Chains A and B, each alone.
Chain A
Amino acid sequence: MRHQLALQIGPVGFRVGSAWRAPLDALAALYADYPKPADGLCDFTVRLEPERPWRRFIRPSVAIRGDYILPDAAPLSLAHGLLAAEMGMNLQMALEQKHYLLLHAATVEKDGRALVMTGESGAGKSTLAALLGERGWRLMGDEFALLDMESGMLLPFPRAISLKNGAIAVMEAEVDPSRFGPRLDGTPKGAIRHMRPNASAIGRMGEGAMPALILFPRFGQAASVRGVGQAEVFIRLTQASTNYVALGRRGFDALTRLVRSIPALAIDYPDTDTAVGLIDDFRRELAA
């Protein structure tokens, strides 16, 4: 590849190669404070290549490649090259990660207790994690929770946070402009702007935490809280996992242990401030 960048994010080393310079410059700026993989070894490789050789110059369009490829991953315009790099990193993790049980979930930590938030796309877990990360919690990740199957600990994976549509303004009001990537309009998911986690999240990316609470947030309803039974939690988490089936019995043991060891709540919330208030209440109850 003409241009390359290596990044360490939590326990995972990535190498991103690109036929163009611009997406990697954007990626390097967004991940400015992240370490390089300590031994130079990378777990996953992502490649951004022209769809056809000649398209590097004529109406360039980016195809995402890697060790695993989704045949229907849509090519993106070069203007969205940063998004392609981010999607490629997600894709390699989702399909290839064998060391950890991977949950499509956001994780934050305070006082050594980790809160796992999962739900359908648009439930607001990413926005909530981003906001909590600026209000006294440590952001561990907004996209994937990595469950260590031996210890039961959650490991941080603090990628740049992918803010979508309405969440962009919420976080722009909260965070220094230097931590944002370019605003990408007209992507398949609408407007997207990436935000670099704060120094504490990046500095402590090697530090895991034991899970203490599972939350299923849902945005856009009057505030309410209900307990969720363990069998329902198990089913929802298998649906939220990208590699549960591939891990076999180790995944079953780890997930049943998680579900039996900590409580789970479903919360509805009308706005993010209400949700942050509810979550701080839960934390105080867990600490009591």
Chain B
Amino acid sequence: MAGARYIAEPESEVDAVALDGLTLLFHTPSGMTHIVAAPAPEILDALRGGPADAAELIRRLRLRFDFEGNESEAAIHARLDELEAAGLVRRA
């Protein structure tokens, strides 16, 4: 059974600036600045390829990054929840 599907705020609404290992995201609609670490920027980037549920998101990320077992998948779920709470990702 497919889980909830997510989409990311479009790139035009989120300014990203990398600063020594962290990424600053300025979200224009809310006026809020978020400071995030990997894999949050990578998740946003992967979701910009179209709506995806967590399994599809992980599949897209696996194409570009090495994953280590299930722990990484748990981390993706946790980051997805945080990005949703921050308003940077929403349910499709």
Please report A residues at the B interface, Cβ cutoff 8 Å.
229-231, 234-235, 238, 245, 248-249, 252-253, 256, 259-260
Determine which of A230, A249, A253, A256 lies in contact with B20 in the assembled complex, contact meaning CB atoms within 8 Å.
A230
* A/B interface sample: 10 pairs, CB < 8 A: A229-B19, A229-B21, A231-B19, A234-B19, A245-B31, A249-B31, A252-B17, A252-B33, A253-B15, A256-B24
The answer to the question of B72 belonging to the interface, with a C-beta cut-off of 8 Å to chain A, is no
| Binary interface encoding of chain B residues 1-41 relative to chain A, with 1 for a CB under 8 A from any of its CBs, else 0 | 00000000000000101011110101010010101000000
Q: Is the CB of A235 within 8 A of B35?
A: yes
The listed residue (A238, A245, A248, A260) touching B19 by CB distance below 8 A is A260
B22 and A231 contacting across the interface, CB-CB below 8 Å: yes
Known contacts A249-B15, A249-B28; A238 and B20 CB within 8 A of each other: no
Q: How far is the CA of A260 from the CA of B17 in the complex (A)?
A: 10
Minimum CB–CB distance from B33 to chain A (whole Å) comes to 6
Which among A231, A235, A252 is the interface contact of B21 at CB below 8 angstroms? A231
Complex Cα gap A229–B19 (Å): 8
Expressed in whole angstroms, the Cα–Cα distance for A34 and B47 within the complex equals 57
Minimum CB–CB distance from A163 to chain B (whole Å) comes to 34
Q: Which residue of A lies closest to B28 (CB)?
A: A249
CA distance A256 to B17 in the complex (A): 7
A92 and B24 CA atoms in complex are apart in Å by 30
Given contacts A238-B33, A252-B26, contact A259 B15 (CB under 8 A): no
A201 to B69, CA, bound (A): 62
Residues of B within 8 A of A256 (CB): 17, 19, 24
CB neighbours of A229 from chain B (8 A): 19-21
